[in-house]
Structure 1
Amino acid sequence: MQLGLGTAALGRPQYINLRQKGFINPDLKTFKQQSFSVLEKAYGLGVRYFDTAPGYGLAENLLLEWLQTKKDSDIQIATKWGYTYVANFNANAKVHEVKEHSLEKLNEQWKVSKAFLPHLKAYQIHSATLETGVLKNEAILNRLAFLKNEYEIEIGITTTGDNQVEVIKKALDVLVNGKPLFDAFQVTYNMLDQSLGVISETLLNQDKKIIIKEALANGRLFRNRRYKHYDKLYGVLEEFARKYNVGVDVIALKFCQQSINKSMVLSGASNDDHLKSNLQMNTITLSEEDLNRLKSYRIDSANYWGERKQLTWN
């Protein structure tokens, strides 16, 4: 199974995304029921890798509760530290999450995250950046190295922004007691931002795990009148969807999985129908010609992230 399930949309009703028509913001009870349904559906369809974070609202607690219904050692959980969810399910909240890369925050969030053991396989710095200094903070790095050795888990980072490759390079240079600290790299990658491609082979050669997030570019890969400059790409995606008899989402996910060797691609599905569609990724193989055609639609990373910053919580 080369598709994992990200739980950002399962743990909070607002997300930085382009909502499709027909979305209704549910009450808390209904929201939780829907999230449990997606988790159960994913498991039933063979998904065993689940990615979560404290910054995803109820996601960690929902996943912990759901895990109590399973006795399966194959289930793998990856979670993070560094963000705290503060919107309290208020659709009008001006601030939804607060970032803090401190030793105190790491220790505070570990108290919850360690409940995932023995299913916890990866513990990640949420949105590691050069600005927070987290990759130079010896107290944090030593603490992460201790958790890695004590609990036999992978330590990773997730990246966001137009300098993802620079951050990854800095992380690869981090040594604690002479040994590389970071094992897993969760990176934004899709047809528009393909910057990961310049360093993916380096990661693989060093036996690092690559997890791809935002494969659908926060919904921008679906035809949208706001993004007329992508009309040619939309046309190609729709052409390939017809050719392979799948949805545009499947083409986008498969593009990521095929163009970055040995990667795990995360689905961000928030309902059963989207999940079932995403999982069709495992049923097709894009031709080399089609893959190269899609690669030609890359844009400059600065432009990609500048456009992403214009998206709102909804």
Structure 2
Amino acid sequence: MTEKKLILGTVQFGIPYGVNNLVGQPSKQEIFTILKKAYEHGIRTLDTAAAYGNSEKLIGDFLQSNPEMGFKIITKIKTDDSVDFEKSLTASLTNLKIDSVNTILFHSFTDFKKNINKHRNSINKHKGNLFEKIGVSIYDNNEIIELLDNDLIDVIQAPFNLLDNKTQRGHLFKELQSKGKIVHTRSSFLQGLFFMNKEVIPKGLSPLIPFLDEIKKLCNQYDISVQELSLNYVLNKKYIDGVLFGVDNVSQLNQNMANINPQLPEDLINAIDEINVIDNFLLNPSKWKI
């Protein structure tokens, strides 16, 4: 089932997030309702991080109150100079109120490079016990290339969407899978940019407007919403194992689930595949100047 590929992101649970987020953080009651509804929809994996405010604690409260809802957990650990890997992982497990997580990620490639040798012994000690898989959240293709033959890394989480698409890194995702690595994607909605009226798009992102217009033109041509296309384009790719997406409320979650339709027209998929944003720094929210 397509739902099995879906991973619910929870950064919104702990901090205000997204260029198009106008409502801020949801309440604890709303978060619990989102998680219950996600489980009912067949979603079985949550993505969080120690750095996402109190997201881990809220998820832990939910899991404690609903032990029958067995979500797999992906979390990103803190590994700066002031935090020990083992202590950070233990703190996350305490917050989550569970004995182990499915996957831990380094927050960035820089974080991985800086800390991997220092924490290698702890990783080897606890892998298969406190966590099953380890990975890296990356931002660009050079980082993927450096990780292709790294036997320690099981999972790569990377951006992928209607603009940050097959043209940008599809070939590398295929190579990752050929080497036995798991590919998870994030930024399916590019922080909500796809849903914004171009009149309110920040000036620094205005070079993307022609591409956004092209997407809307294709949506009109094929009678499909931007929301529906955004999620299903990524779900359509066989070289992607998991698709991370976030919501601010239950209504958004229900709408996303109602939009799932993996049978997109081949011509539409090919048209999106061919969109080529040359200035790809515009696709990296961490570099946005808005």
TM bracket (short chain)? 0.7 to 0.9
Q: Secondary structure at the residue paired with 1:221?
A: helix
Counterpart check, 1:206 vs 2:207: no
Indicate conservation of the 8 Å contact 1:193/1:300, yes or no: no
Q: State the distance in 2 between where 1:309 and 1:151 align.
A: 34
Indicate conservation of the 8 Å contact 1:73/1:119, yes or no: no
Mapping 1:71-86, distance limit 5 Å:
71-72=67-68, 74-82=70-78
**What TM-score results when the alignment is normalised by the length of structure 1?**
0.77
Equivalent residue, structure 2, for 1:36:
32
Equivalent residue, structure 2, for 1:92:
none
Q: State the distance in 1 between where 2:84 and 2:113 align.
A: 14
Which deviations, in whole Å up to 9, do the C-alpha atoms of 1:75-98 show, x marking residues without a partner? 21110113xxxxxxxxxxxxxxxx
Which deviations, in whole Å up to 9, do the C-alpha atoms of 1:231-251 show, x marking residues without a partner? 444344445545666541221
Deviates more, 1:193-202 or 1:52-61: 193-202
Letter of the 2:253 partner, please give it. L
Which deviations, in whole Å up to 9, do the C-alpha atoms of 1:247-301 show, x marking residues without a partner? 4122111112223524211111111111112223533421221011112223135
Q: Secondary structure at the residue paired with 2:244?
A: strand
Equivalent residue, structure 2, for 1:121:
102
2:256 to 278, 292, 295: 278
Equivalent residue, structure 2, for 1:57:
53
Q: Secondary structure at the residue paired with 1:202?
A: helix
Unaligned runs of 5+ in 1: 83-99, 175-179
Indicate conservation of the 8 Å contact 2:222/2:268, yes or no: no
Equivalent residue, structure 1, for 2:19:
18
Unaligned runs of 5+ in 2: none
Equivalent residue, structure 2, for 1:184:
155
Q: State the distance in 1 between where 2:280 and 2:209 align.
A: 20
Compute the RMSD of aligned alpha carbons.
2.8
How much has 1:306 moved relative to structure 2? 6.5
Counterpart check, 1:143 vs 2:116: no
Indicate conservation of the 8 Å contact 2:161/2:187, yes or no: yes
**What TM-score results when the alignment is normalised by the length of structure 2?**
0.83
Q: State the distance in 2 between where 1:311 and 1:279 align.
A: 32
Equivalent residue, structure 1, for 2:276:
298
Q: Greater helix percent: which structure?
A: 2
Which deviations, in whole Å up to 9, do the C-alpha atoms of 1:14-68 show, x marking residues without a partner? 22x2225xx3446xxx622222221122112211110000111111001111111
Number of residue pairs matched? 278
Q: State the distance in 1 between where 2:70 and 2:220 align.
A: 35
Q: Secondary structure at the residue paired with 1:198?
A: helix
How much has 1:101 moved relative to structure 2? 3.5
